[in-house]
Chain A
């Protein structure tokens, strides 16, 4: 695991972490970051929480500081998903997407917050992010709208199955 060594301030790049991140969709974009800080200036999360700083997060990704990024109660969940950094980045790093890839890694490690799990659980139940409730169709009927259409959950659940690693792995 990567760490900043306490005694001599040498940063050791953790390539295993960087390889895992690169496997995630758009996870390897941070490689193009030249640390200009354009992502920070208009970041609403940074304004209210100095602990959340997209430039520093990209720097930690470049160094491969897994321990500082992927712990319990990670600061990454403070991202508001506003996409301001995506629009401003001159290098098309898409910091928000790198952060989402890091969140995927947190989820792989069982460190997603309960709110995220709740949304997924509701979706796994009925294919929507809103729980079933008889009041919904009653309310719809008031507007002359038909009941909600059923979602073929058999199809959906098959799609959510992760790939089976082929022998030998890749």
Chain B
């Protein structure tokens, strides 16, 4: 069975639990094991949060990615906003200078 870390986001688990239910009932039948992440936060939101402070936005998103990294798993989400944030963060962090800035902040919490 393929294992993936599940990043639920905010709106789906809180406001649309039926969508989370659908994911949890269908994926195992398709041979995918869902692994829950401990301590995941908002992705964070790619519109307002990013507009306010892009470096903080990247850092919090990077922290969420490290949760899956700890488990050695690829991450998936069923939310379009989280997809935007997490995939963009992955792309932006290919830049070494920016990755250093973000890692510098993550070092504060030992990540």
In contact, A143 and B98 (Cβ under 8 angstroms): no
A: which residues have CB within 8 A of B?
Answer: 24-26, 81, 100-101, 103-104, 107, 112, 115-117, 119-120, 123, 127-130, 133, 136, 139-140, 142-145, 148-152, 155-156, 158-161, 163
B3 at the interface (CB under 8 A from A): no
B: which residues have CB within 8 A of A?
Answer: 10-11, 13-15, 17-18, 20-21, 24, 36, 38-42, 44-56, 58-60, 63, 92, 98, 104-106, 108-109
In contact, A143 and B44 (Cβ under 8 angstroms): no
Known: A140-B20, A149-B38, A151-B41. 17 other contacts (CB 8 A): A25-B58, A26-B54, A26-B92, A81-B46, A101-B54, A107-B51, A127-B42, A129-B10, A129-B11, A136-B15, A142-B17, A143-B20, A145-B24, A149-B39, A159-B60, A163-B104, A163-B105
A residues less than 8 Å from B13 (CB atoms): 136, 140, 145, 148
> Closest CB-CB distance, A16 to chain B, in whole Å?
20
In contact, A159 and B105 (Cβ under 8 angstroms): yes
In contact, B51 and A103 (Cβ under 8 angstroms): yes
**Cα distance A79–B82 in the bound complex, in angstroms:** 20
